Amino acid sequence: MNVNLPHDLPAVEVSDILAREKAYSQDLQRSGKWRHIWRIAGRYANISIFDVSDNEELHRLLSGLPLFKFMEIEVMPLLRHPSAVRDDDR
């Protein structure tokens, strides 16, 4: 996920969007749907792991992000590799 906020967006609007984004993403993390999130160093971007039942659910969750209209999102489906030595994602 790459975030591209317009430079002319009023600071008060940016603050509001970021607060709503944080609350929404942390709720999804607590629910187990947003399993992991990592910042990409030096960029306003992240790599995230979601645990969803299907593409429709993923689309619904992503499009619910307050920053969604300012994001470029690349989706890459993942599944556990048969040679993995762990049964979970620690």
Domain that holds residue 38: 2-72
pTM above 0.85, yes or no: yes
- Structure tokens of 44? 């306003």
Is residue 8 situated within a structural domain?
yes
Is residue 85 situated within a structural domain?
no
Is residue 52 situated within a structural domain?
yes
Is residue 86 situated within a structural domain?
no
Model confidence pLDDT, tens digit, residues 7-65: 999 999 999 999 999 999 999 999 999 999 999 999 999 999 999 999 999 999 999 99
Say how far apart CA 36 and CA 49 lie, in whole Å: 5
Is residue 26 situated within a structural domain?
yes
Is residue 29 situated within a structural domain?
yes
Residues contacting residue 15 through CB under 8 Å, at least 6 positions apart: none
Contact indicator for 40, 46 with CB cutoff of 8 Å = yes
Residue 88: the pLDDT is 74
Number of domains in the chain: 1
Say how far apart CA 32 and CA 34 lie, in whole Å: 6
Give me the CATH number covering residue 47.
3.30.70.1060
